[in-house]
Amino acid sequence: MNKPKVGIIGLTGCSGDQLVILNCEDQLLDLVGAIDIRDFLTATSANDTESRLDVAFVEGSVVSQKDEDLLRRVRERCTILVALGTCAVWGGIPTMDRDQDRPALLRAVYGDLNWEYDTCPAKALHEVVKVDLNLPGCPIEKDQFLATVANLLNGNLPLLPDYAVCTECKMKENNCLLIEKKQVCLGPVSVAGCQARCPSLNIPCVGCRGPCTDANLKSAAATYAENGVAMEDVIRKMKTFAPVPVSEQP
């Protein structure tokens, strides 16, 4: 049987998700034995940027016309497009400036000749093309990536958690930083999958995996209020990694 052809492609981002893939040290040989990686600029200069792909994993957000053109080309050449990481899924940190005065920002960063640069307001992949699967994380979780590849090899899409970080935090029997220490923890409104990494280290969740669309927002809002945490602080913090849609704001 032919191995599925796969591309791992980066738009504008830190390449952290691609590094997670390269860091799958114990599984890398199995991975390249099971899939035919054709296009992976971060790992090889011998890239096939033209052939049809069964799966394209795309990291980063769209912040320029160049990014948008590349993303549209990738969409045309692949069957399944996976948004890899929070920048690709939600827009990530580059979307923090959505509420800001963009001309002033461009002047501050690029000076008076800012119009010469190829920039546009940052967008998530789904705002430009159809996305078949979202794999959030800043960066992604290695186990989720490997499980995704295994599922795709079997012709399935993986079932990823759609519940909040608090669920994993409770399963680890951590003391609650929000209730016991009155800290602004985004666990109630952020999507799980990281095994509550930060609260398990006594650090409040900053929502790097993006919003949990299945969160009980009414209850979360009440719990924040009971513990003296202002919703403006929660929403401001959430916007670090995702421009929170109004319908998903607590």
From candidates 35, 74, 178, 234, binder to ligand SF4 by CB under 6 A: 178
Q: Could you say which residues in the range 44-103 bind ligand SF4, by CB under 6 A?
A: none
Max distance between CA atoms of the chain, in angstroms, equals: 59
d(CA 140, CA 51): 26
From the CB of 99, what's the least distance to ligand SF4, in Å? Answer: 22
Residue 179: half-sphere exposure toward Cβ, Cα within 13 Å: 11
For residue 130, CA distances in Å to 48, 76, 84, 127 come to 23, 10, 14, 8
In the bound state with ligand SF4, the residue whose beta carbon lies nearer, of 66 and 142, is 142
Q: Classify the C-alpha dihedral 216-219-223-229 as positive or negative.
A: positive
Q: What is the DSSP letter of 33?
A: H
Q: Is 211 in the site for ligand SF4 (CB under 6 A)?
A: no
Where is 55: in which H helix or E strand? strand 53-59
From candidates 208, 215, 234, 244, binder to ligand SF4 by CB under 6 A: 208
From the CB of 128, what's the least distance to ligand SF4, in Å? Answer: 25
d(CA 168, CA 141): 14
Interface characters, 148-177, with ligand SF4 (x: CB under 6 A)? -----------------xx--xx---x-xx
From the CB of 223, what's the least distance to ligand SF4, in Å? Answer: 8
In the bound state with ligand SF4, the residue whose beta carbon lies nearer, of 53 and 165, is 165
Q: Is 34 in the site for ligand SF4 (CB under 6 A)?
A: no
In the bound state with ligand SF4, the residue whose beta carbon lies nearer, of 75 and 197, is 197
In the bound state with ligand SF4, the residue whose beta carbon lies nearer, of 10 and 139, is 139
Q: What is the DSSP letter of 34?
A: H
From candidates 60, 199, 211, 250, binder to ligand SF4 by CB under 6 A: 199
From the CB of 180, what's the least distance to ligand SF4, in Å? Answer: 8
Q: What is the DSSP letter of 174?
A: P
Q: In 10 A of CB 221, how many CB atoms?
A: 17
In the bound state with ligand SF4, the residue whose beta carbon lies nearer, of 142 and 170, is 170
**Tokens 């052809």 belong to which residue?**
5
d(CA 39, CA 50): 9
Q: Could you say which residues in the range 179-198 bind ligand SF4, by CB under 6 A?
A: 185, 187-188, 190, 194, 196-198
How many residues belong to the site for ligand SF4 (CB under 6 A)?
22
Asked if 226 and 176 touch (Cβ cutoff 8 Å), the reply is no
Which residues is 58 bridged to in the sheet?
9, 83
From the CB of 83, what's the least distance to ligand SF4, in Å? Answer: 16
Name the site residues for ligand SF4 (rule: CB under 6 A).
165-166, 169-170, 174, 176-178, 185, 187-188, 190, 194, 196-199, 205-209
